[in-house]
Amino acid sequence: MSAAVEKVQAQFPDEIVEIYEFRGDTTIIIKPEKIVEICTLLRDDRETSFRYLSSVAAVDYLPASPRFAVVYHLYSHRYKNRVALKAFLEDDAYPSIHSVVPVWSAANWHERECYDLMGIQFRGHPDLRRILTPAECEAYFPLRKEIPVRGL
């Protein structure tokens, strides 16, 4: 939504990598460093008011590099619109980003799932541990592209 885009452009112009619209959805690709500040802005500013986090998804773009991206889908009840924030993580071997649990408590379990399935480390998460996969998957992260569907 353009209000969100304007706010982020005004306050964090250096953090934006790209903005695009596809089929009516707005995605703002940002650098991962200031994710908590950007999310706090989008939640607290009255003209954007994204007080609800729909989901946190991790995507693996192997063989492209940077390989991992974390996508946050936000919804505003006041304006009934959505925006997607996408952050590509620099380190392919040890992908990490700061946790947004301080902004929305809903992020707790969503981030645990991203860690469990894709191996993304969320710095500052209160309780980062496996949530879905069995103990047999201890050694690997099942949703990564190099893992076959039957696991290792």
Binding residues vs another protein (CB under 8 A): 22-25, 27, 51-55, 57, 59-61, 71, 73, 75, 77, 80, 82, 84, 104-106, 108-110, 113, 117, 130-137, 142-143, 147, 149-152
Residues 6+ apart with CB under 8 A from 55: 72, 73, 110
State which residue, 77 or 123, has the beta carbon closest to another protein.
Answer: 77
State which residue, 38 or 101, has the beta carbon closest to another protein.
Answer: 101
Rounded (5°) CA angle 92-96-97: 135
State which residue, 34 or 144, has the beta carbon closest to another protein.
Answer: 144
Q: How far apart are CA 72 and CA 140, in angstroms?
A: 24
State which residue, 10 or 23, has the beta carbon closest to another protein.
Answer: 23
Calculate the dihedral angle through the C-alpha atoms of 56, 61, 62, 67, rounding to the nearest 10 degrees: -70
End-to-end CA distance of the chain: 42
Burial class (CB in 10 A: 0-12, 13-18, 19+), 14: exposed
